[in-house]
Amino acid sequence: MITLIQIAMVLLNLVWWVVVVQIVLSLLISFNVINTYNDFVRSLYQGLDKLTEPMYRPIRKILPDFGQIDFSPAVILIGLQIGQLVLGNVAASIATGAPL
């Protein structure tokens, strides 16, 4: 059971890094530090967008419109941190035999 929780925590950590890289890449493109004329940048951005958009879409429906600012990645990152905290506490309680 602990191994499954550890695998879930690694996957949550991986998703966290994907979201962070997507945020940084999006900011670099927005400020013209890098551009999408480069094939590698364009394919990386499109791939990350396809990975993260299904997570962002339901949150964008709930959040009010803030104009050009998108807070859905922040909500995802907070949710991932909460998920890791909960899984860590569950793993600790299983390891010690304490009730949840």
pTM check: above 0.95: no
Number of domains in the chain: 1
- Judge whether 99 and 6 are in contact, CB under 8 Å: no
Residue 67 lies in a domain: no
The closest of 49, 55, 58, 57 to 29, measured between CA atoms, is 49
The C-alpha atoms of residue 80 and residue 87 are separated, in whole angstroms, by: 10
pLDDT in tens, 57-76: 999 999 998 888 899 999 99
pLDDT in tens, 74-99: 999 999 999 999 999 999 998 888 77
Instruction: Return left, alpha or beta for 35; rule: phi > 0 is left, psi -120 to 50 is alpha, else beta.
Output: beta
Max intra-chain CA distance, the chain:
56
Residue 44 lies in a domain: yes
Backbone angles phi, psi at 35, to 5 degrees: -125, 165
What is the domain range of residue 82?
2-56+73-94
pLDDT in tens, 9-68: 999 999 999 999 999 999 999 999 999 899 999 999 999 999 999 999 999 999 998 888
Residue 12 lies in a domain: yes
